[in-house]
Amino acid sequence: MPASRRFRIEDQNCFALLSGDSNPVHIDALKARRSQFGRPIVHGMHLLLWAIEEGLANTPQTALAKVSGVFRNPVRVDEEVFFRLVQDHDQYKKIVLECNGAECATVHFELSANEMDMAFIDQSPGVQDCHERSEPSLENAQGSIPLEMDTSDVRELFPVLAQKVPLGQISLILATTRLVGMECPGLHSIYSGLTVNFSPSSCTEGSPGRLDWKVVNYDDRFRRLSIDIVADGATGVIQAMLRPSPSKQKTCAELKTLIPNAEMFAGQRALVIGGSRGLGELCAKILAVGGADVRVTYHRGKEDAEAVVADINNGGGQALSLAYDMFDPPDDLQNCLGDGWAPTHVYYFATPPIFVAARGKFSSDLFARFSRYYVEGFYTCWQSIRRITTEKFTMFYPSSVAVETAYQNMGEYAAAKAAGENLCNYLCACDKKLTVKVVRLPRLPSDQTLSVVEVATPDPVETLLGALGEFRSEQVA
């Protein structure tokens, strides 16, 4: 059986302390959910060092002559990663890491019997600021960072590696993740590849105990950059990408200029499930600007939800926020909503990260995860509303054009959305006082649909207004 591992958030925190790479995409669940990954991802260098450690298990003490890694797909915290040693020679090893049925990383390394240790500073790099660089600032950017590493920490996290190879070489690999994640590109970075050649320190021009770096190429078409690195005993190149910053929806002030009728949704008591960000946020603001009395729910993003509510209320609308777990709705939902407040309309935008599937493969586990949100969660939502009102109400189910289009990396998502549509029909047949509006939305700009390469999408305000158009004439007493 191949080795496997699940990287927990505790592992991530320890690695961040060891490496100095505390980029929030790796350790902060709330901030990471605003990235294209949806939740924290494992450091590429964490994967690489684990792979080397596993690959050296049956190897005597040695030194690294060359290390290269390519990272093809992100590994999210708590996902199982499988290790495969596909080439195993005395002086050369190739490792493939797989996750969710697809290759996530390839690691090659060559070994040497020569003495190739490197100077480093035996101390933790500490907590540092995470720089946020713009595209123009990337061209010809350069600098230097110290090679710092606490030897007791590295022996605890990578005991085999620390015993088998020179500690200075490990410190350099760790410095590269600190460079990418904290310095360049910094906050909105993706570490996509590394090649390092080690040699006796007298053969390079680097400064002892430091890593010098310089951006030698930036391709703005793909937001991709190459960084040359040199240290006393190593030279190499890093491949990285500048990922897009979190998506920002329009403010209520901006929406007022786009919504022609301030009474468009007057009379609605609108409960927006998952309204703290993304399309749920935009829907809540559109409804409020159109005169609806809005309640916005959140699961973890309390501050995001409060910001949405503040924007609505400061713009003259009506809104409150409340915590809501779709798998375990609060028993006191009526109190959370407000005394006597029951929704006339429920807009369901709860969703996990969407673009997580392997191309051309179907995962039953992933389908089950999507179904929990789009089927079980929707059903539980209907149940929780029915407990507080016997009156008629309408639910809005945002489905997807993926249901009718065979995208090779969205099979599980599309199947779960289709199952959700069937549930909508079933609920309407069972509950004669329920109306469900199912709308298959196209890809729209949100945290869920962020990508490194810009993708043309329809205008989200115009699209949502069109989808909500049927509700405009429904005046509720």
DSSP conformational letter for 17: H
How high is the pLDDT of residue 170? 97
Q: What are the two backbone dihedrals, phi and then psi, of residue 303, each rounded to the nearest 5 degrees?
A: -65, -40
Measured between alpha carbons, how far is residue 275 from residues 29, 88, 287, 300, 461 in Å? 18, 51, 11, 12, 15
Tell me which residue has tokens 């990954």: 37
| Spatial separation of the C-alpha atoms in residues 190 and 181, rounded to whole Å | 8
Tell me the pairing of strands 4-6 and 210-219: unpaired
Confidence band (pLDDT; 50, 70, 90) for 34? confident
| Spatial separation of the C-alpha atoms in residues 455 and 450, rounded to whole Å | 9
Tell me the pairing of strands 318-323 and 293-298: parallel
| Spatial separation of the C-alpha atoms in residues 174 and 44, rounded to whole Å | 10
Confidence band (pLDDT; 50, 70, 90) for 477? very low
The chain-wide mean pLDDT, for the chain, equals 92
Residue 452's Cβ-side half-sphere holds a number of Cα atoms within 13 Å equal to 17
| Spatial separation of the C-alpha atoms in residues 367 and 45, rounded to whole Å | 30
pLDDT digits (tens, 9 = 90+) for 201-252: 656 666 889 999 999 999 988 899 999 999 999 999 999 999 988 888 999 9
pLDDT cut 90: percent of the chain above it:
76
pLDDT digits (tens, 9 = 90+) for 434-455: 999 999 999 988 877 766 666 7
Terminal Cα distance for the chain, rounded: 65
Closest CA to 352 of 323, 324, 372: 372
What tokens does 153 get? 């920490």
Domains and CATH numbers, the chain: 4-242 (3.10.129.10), 252-471 (3.40.50.720)
What tokens does 149 get? 């590493």
Residue 61 confidence (pLDDT) above 90: no
The pTM assigned to this predicted structure is: 0.84
| Spatial separation of the C-alpha atoms in residues 452 and 393, rounded to whole Å | 40
How high is the pLDDT of residue 300? 86
Residue 301 confidence (pLDDT) above 90: no
Measured between alpha carbons, how far is residue 321 from residues 249, 297, 313, 455, 468 in Å? 18, 6, 11, 32, 21
Residue 367 confidence (pLDDT) above 70: yes
How high is the pLDDT of residue 2? 63
Q: What are the two backbone dihedrals, phi and then psi, of residue 173, each rounded to the nearest 5 degrees?
A: -60, -40
Q: Are 189 and 181 in contact (CB under 8 A)?
A: yes
Amino acid occupying residue 298 = Y
The helix/strand/coil state of 10 is: helix
| Spatial separation of the C-alpha atoms in residues 419 and 378, rounded to whole Å | 11
Q: Which of 63-72, 132-141, 340-349 has the lowest mean pLDDT?
A: 132-141
How high is the pLDDT of residue 56? 94
Please enumerate in sequence order all residues whose Cβ is within 8 A of that of 325, keeping only pairs 6 or more positions apart, or say none: 299
pLDDT digits (tens, 9 = 90+) for 12-30: 999 999 999 999 999 999 8
pLDDT digits (tens, 9 = 90+) for 111-141: 998 878 889 999 999 988 999 999 999 988 9
255: how many CB neighbours lie within 10 A of its CB?
22
DSSP conformational letter for 121: B
Strands (E), 372-463: 393-400, 434-441
How high is the pLDDT of residue 356? 79
Residue 433 confidence (pLDDT) above 60: yes
Measured between alpha carbons, how far is residue 213 from residues 12, 95, 216 in Å? 25, 27, 9
pLDDT cut 70: percent of the chain above it:
96
Confidence band (pLDDT; 50, 70, 90) for 476? very low
How high is the pLDDT of residue 74? 93
Confidence band (pLDDT; 50, 70, 90) for 475? very low
Confidence band (pLDDT; 50, 70, 90) for 409? confident
Average pLDDT for 279-294: 96
- According to the per-residue pLDDT averaged within each range, which of 31-40, 53-62, 343-352 is highest? 343-352
Q: Which of 74-83, 239-248, 288-297 has the lowest mean pLDDT?
A: 239-248
Closest CA to 37 of 356, 300, 274, 299: 356
Helices and strands: H and E segment counts in the chain: 16, 16
Closest CA to 355 of 464, 447, 459, 221: 447
What tokens does 414 get? 């599309």
| 3-state DSSP of 127-175 | CCCCCECCHHHHCCCEEEEECECCHHHHHHHCHHHHHHCCHHHHHHHHH
Q: Round the CA-based radius of gyration of the chain to a whole number and report it.
A: 26
Most distant pair of Cα atoms in the chain: their distance: 83
| Spatial separation of the C-alpha atoms in residues 40 and 16, rounded to whole Å | 12
